[in-house]
């Protein structure tokens, strides 16, 4: 759906690119000081992909204006997947509830993505540029 909405040529799409901090359950940040997160990542961050014609990661789409962000983070889609327990009250749902294992069973979104992906090593230049 993302590739269709952004008019990407699917025949040139090679793989999603993830810095280690973009992956599910990662304790690391991929932005700012590249330090530790307060909580493990609840999902994955989609923003870079490898195109067969260009052979490097590029911004997939601008989803929000992050130019004024104190974190100095590029635009991305934070994709989380989970199964809520019956006790979850949707009328009082806020983001922090997603971290409560008594309310939501989080799942790794990579299990449902239909495209190949590559996780960059810590020292790769694309990660340092983010």
pTM score, whole prediction: 0.75
The region of weakest confidence among 1-15, 30-44, 53-67, 99-113 is: 53-67
Q: What does the pLDDT read at residue 123?
A: 60
Q: Give every strand in the sheet of 43-46, ordered side by side.
A: 43-46, 77-84, 104-107
Check: CB of residue 55 under 8 Å from CB of residue 73.
no
The overall longest dimension of the chain from CA atoms, in Å, is 49
Alpha-carbon distances, residue 4 vs 11, 13, 37, 127 (angstroms): 12, 12, 32, 26
Q: What does the pLDDT read at residue 11?
A: 75
**How far apart are the C-alpha atoms of 82 and 101, rounded to whole Å?**
10
Chain CA centroid to CA 115, Å = 14
How much of the chain exceeds pLDDT 90, in percent?
A: 22
More confident residue, 88 or 3: 88
């Amino acid at each position: 759906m993302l590739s269709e909405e952004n008019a990407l040529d699917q025949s040139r799409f090679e793989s999603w690119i993830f810095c280690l901090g973009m992956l599910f359950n990662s304790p690391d940040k991929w932005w700012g000081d590249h330090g530790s997160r307060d909580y493990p990542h609840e999902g994955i961050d989609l923003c870079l992909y490898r195109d067969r014609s260009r052979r490097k990661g590029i911004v997939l789409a601008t989803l929000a204006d992050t130019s004024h962000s104190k974190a100095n983070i590029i635009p991305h889609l934070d994709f989380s997947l989970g199964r809520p327990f019956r006790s979850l009250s949707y009328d009082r749902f806020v983001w922090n509830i997603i971290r409560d294992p008594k309310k939501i069973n989080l799942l790794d979104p990579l299990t449902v993505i239909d495209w190949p992906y590559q996780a960059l090593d810590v020292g790769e230049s694309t990660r340092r540029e983010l």
